[in-house]
């Protein structure tokens, strides 16, 4: 853990300054005053050092997901005034965002589990992803989109489950409607996706709207792409009513699909992300390569190239691939040649217990034996020391 992270984690702004042991009752007033001045100087030096060494962070609201149930608005670093106001006014929504944060981070890690950059998070680091997000890369574009989608999904789900005071089921899904199968009645609880989108936009976009530069413009675009991706997969679910289960009458409602569909969709958008250049007036952007099509509102966009993520590079936020598990037989991104960046790999044989010789037993169970097998695990070699030093 970097020294700055350790200092930040241990810093307690409300803790009283303790006088040195020699300043207890019975010592001279001069000694007490000197001790107080020394403590004050150390305290000031500590704060200055913390401010200098702590890197500037983007979208620190991501840290809400790491806080879990301990969401305290004043303790979340990097929130702008609008975000802090919403945090204080809607604590129940913040709890939903916190719980949803774990879900979209898991989805990000699932989508990139076979990639050199695997959406790694840093423990007890308020930037969550480290310096890698300071670059407007394709990876940053994906994280902004999936995090925005995760907030929409979490808030909308909480509305339908009656966990929030300010919303519930979609109030507009009432009366009758039609689809390709005919007429149906709105009933049940339709997910209030529009409320989720509205709140996510107000909360997440607030920070980007405090500045007007290329990065903010790109972030706003990718945020919107993520929000709307959840709505894209809304599905109509129905319950049939009638004699012997016939569908003479139907009651239907709109529901969100599993979040995996949103993750899969955004991963495809990542693969086809478009590099852009921002207009001189800063109000829009155009495709960087004129041979490619212009970006649409559904495309992820970026304007800085990604590092190769092969070696640990503190400045770029790359953790490197040393020690990563790879697939010897694959030619894809999870293959040892690609994952290990040509450095080679180590092979370790381990024993694994699996279920085998399973039989169906009447009624109604399946009985299996525990079988032991030897499996080869391949992990990427560490770089030579000279190569590692070049990147740190």
pLDDT tens digits, 30-57: 444 555 455 545 444 433 333 333 334 4
Which CATH number fits the domain 325-390, given the four candidates 3.30.2460.20, 1.20.120.1200, 3.40.50.2020, 3.20.20.70?
Answer: 3.30.2460.20
CA separation for the pair 280, 265 (Å, rounded): 32
CA–CA distance, 125 with 153 (Å, rounded to integer): 25
Position 316 scores a pLDDT of: 87
The pLDDT score that the predictor gives to residue 64 is: 61
List beta partners, residue 349.
Answer: 376
**Domain residue spans in the chain?**
3-21+30-53, 60-306, 325-390
- Written as tens digits, the pLDDT of the chain (392 aa) is 443 333 333 333 333 333 333 333 444 444 445 554 555 454 444 333 333 333 344 445 666 655 554 456 777 778 899 998 998 899 899 989 888 888 999 999 999 999 999 999 887 677 788 888 889 999 999 999 999 999 999 999 999 999 999 999 999 999 999 998 899 999 999 999 999 999 999 999 999 999 888 999 999 999 999 999 999 999 999 999 877 767 888 999 999 999 999 999 999 999 999 999 988 777 889 899 888 888 999 999 999 999 999 999 988 889 999 999 999 999 999 999 999 999 999 999 999 999 999 998 888 889 999 999 999 999 999 998 745 444 54
* Segments in 54-90 forming alpha helices (H): 63-67, 81-89
Predicted local distance difference test score (pLDDT) of residue 63: 60
What is residue 318's three-state secondary structure? strand
DSSP structure class, residue 305: P
Separation between Cα atoms, residue 265 and residue 273, nearest integer Å: 12
What is d(CA 48, CA 91) in angstroms, rounded to the nearest whole number? 32
Report the distance separating Cα 82 and Cα 72, nearest Å. Answer: 15
CA quadruple 190, 193, 194, 196: dihedral sign: positive
| 3-state SS assignment for residue 354 | strand
Give the residues across from 240 on adjacent strands. Answer: 250
| Calpha distance 325→340 (Å, rounded) | 9
Write out the two tokens for 300.
């992820």
In this predicted structure, what is the pLDDT of residue 225? 97
Q: What is the pLDDT of residues 132-162, one digit of tens each?
A: 888 999 999 999 999 999 999 999 999 999 9
- pLDDT for 23: 37
> Which residues have CB under 8 Å from 272's CB, separation 6+?
299, 300
């Amino acid at each position: 853990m970097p020294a700055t992270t350790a200092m930040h984690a241990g810093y307690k702004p409300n803790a009283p300054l303790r006088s040195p042991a020699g300043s207890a009752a019975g010592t001279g007033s001069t000694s007490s005053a000197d001790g107080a001045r020394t403590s004050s100087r150390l305290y000031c030096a500590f704060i200055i050092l913390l401010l200098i060494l702590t890197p500037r962070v983007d979208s620190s609201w991501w840290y809400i997901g790491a806080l879990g149930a301990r969401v305290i608005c004043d303790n979340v670093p990097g929130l702008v005034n609008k975000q802090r106001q919403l945090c204080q006014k809607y604590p129940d929504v913040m709890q939903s965002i916190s719980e949803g944060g774990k879900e979209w981070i898991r989805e990000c890690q699932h989508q990139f589990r076979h990639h050199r950059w695997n959406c790694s998070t840093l423990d007890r680091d308020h930037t969550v992803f480290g310096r890698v997000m300071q670059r407007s890369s394709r990876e940053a574009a994906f994280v902004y989109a999936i995090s925005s989608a995760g907030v929409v999904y979490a808030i909308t789900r909480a509305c339908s489950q009656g966990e929030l005071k300010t919303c519930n089921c979609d109030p507009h899904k009432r009366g009758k409607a039609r689809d390709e199968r005919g007429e149906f009645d709105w009933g049940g609880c339709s997910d209030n996706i529009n409320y989720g989108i509205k709140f996510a936009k107000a909360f997440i976009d607030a920070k980007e709207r405090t500045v007007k530069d290329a990065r903010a413009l790109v972030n706003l675009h990718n945020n919107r792409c993520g929000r709307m991706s959840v709505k894209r997969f809304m599905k109509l679910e129905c319950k049939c009513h009638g004699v012997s289960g016939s569908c003479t009458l139907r009651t239907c409602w709109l529901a969100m699909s599993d979040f995996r569909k949103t993750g899969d969709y955004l991963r495809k958008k990542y693969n086809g992300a478009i590099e852009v250049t921002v207009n001189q007036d800063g109000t829009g952007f155009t495709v960087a390569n004129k041979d490619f099509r212009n970006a649409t509102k559904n495309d992820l966009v970026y304007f800085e190239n990604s590092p190769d993520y092969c070696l640990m590079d503190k400045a770029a936020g790359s953790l490197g691939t040393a020690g990563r598990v790879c697939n010897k037989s694959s030619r894809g991104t999870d293959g040892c040649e690609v994952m290990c960046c040509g450095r080679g790999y180590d092979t370790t044989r381990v024993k694994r217990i699996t279920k085998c010789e399973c039989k169906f037993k009447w009624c109604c169970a399946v009985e299996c034996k525990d079988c032991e097998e030897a499996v080869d695990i391949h992990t990427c070699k560490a770089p030579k020391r000279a190569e590692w030093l070049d990147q740190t």
